[in-house]
Each structure stands twice: as C-alpha cells, then as structure tokens.
Structure 1
C-alpha cells in the first residue's frame, strides 16, 4: 500500500503544515465557521428568492422539517425548502384512485413521472 501512495505522489512536492492538535483543531473550526458564514451571506439573496417563490406559489409553509439521524446516532432537525404540497398523502391517494395508469406506475416503482404532490417551484428545486 505504501508503494501505491509513493507512486501516486511521485514527482509532486508535498506542501503542508501540521499544527499541534489544539491549534490545528481551532484553525480548522475557525476556517469552517468563516467559510460557512461567507457562503450564507453570498447565497442569502438566492435563498430569499426561493423562499418567496415557495410561499407565493401556494401559500403553504416555506420549509419542510423532519428528523434525521446524525453522527453517533444523534437525532437532529433538518429543514428543507418545501417542494411538495402540504397534504401530499391525501393528494396522492385521490390521484391514484382516479388514474389507473399512474396507480400501476406507483405500484411498480413507487415513483410517478408527473407526481401531483410536487409543486411547480418544487419541480425546479428537485
């Protein structure tokens, strides 16, 4: 395995500085925070535009929240821009009852090419 690593880096100078653990961790965390905040500031006009489009499209909530399992099995809340209608299960059931072809597609793949639950803005976001 070492031979592979040596040959992969052959001819290239390796540049890097290893800081001791307390300083290295602090520098990495600082870089993460500054980068994240910069990204949020730069992308905030886009986020605002998407939020307005979601809200104006059908007057439902802007965000969809649910729980996910993270590192170490910890559960955390996750927010996403809403891409489906608020009462999706009811809409899907009514659509499948009225459209036998769509019902067959749903049974076979658990997906629909023209899903009635997806909003117009949601189709672009997906």
Structure 2
C-alpha cells in the first residue's frame, strides 16, 4: 500500500499519535524505546497520547526484530501509522546496524541505539505530517 499524506484540512498542531505496545522487542528495551520516542516527539513538536485506549488522530503499530552474527547485530523496524478506521496511511521502516553481538542479539542493543531508532521514526513521522 502506498503512503498517503495526511488530509490537507488537518491542523497539524492538533494531530495526535498513540503508539500501541511494541511487538517483537523485549519488554525492558520496549520501555526504553517508548521513552526515547516520547522524548523525540517532544523535541519535534508532535503530540503523543500516552493513555491506553485514549482518542488520537493516528495510531502507530511498531514491529521490531533483531538478528546477529559474530560481528554485528541488526535491528529491523516497521512502524505502521493507521487512521481511525484502521487503514494504514504511512509506513516507516528501516534497520540499525550495531557492532558486536552475543547469543541473544537484543543484548547488543544499547540505549543509544534505541535513541537513534526513535529519532529516525519521529523525524519521518514529522516529515510525513508536514509533507516534506
């Protein structure tokens, strides 16, 4: 599905995003990533709704996975933005390469790595919202 721009009649200052619980990432890292997303959203001027079930303009579903080999870990991420009807209107995807690995690739992921992912996701959300 192609990404669509937000409707032109939407006042972007009144748009809000609700991030659903992240899928595929261990709980402690999900908490850190969620906090980093909140911090980045604040810096970018995006409004996040933090209460489960609260109304928002868009909901964001995040899916992450990690794979490692002896030299590096790669975190893959996909964030789907859906409207109130559940229709996907934007997809943000990418990967983050991290030096080193261990038996569990998630163990190589640091808070700095999560902050980079959060920054990329929020900057792309803001760019989409403002059609850059």
Measured against the shorter chain, the TM-score band is under 0.3
Name which one, 1 or 2, has greater alpha-carbon Rg: 1
Higher share in strand: 2
TM-score (ref. length: structure 2): 0.23
Q: Given the two structures, how large is their TM-score scaled by the length of structure 1? A: 0.24
| Greater fraction of residues in helix | 1
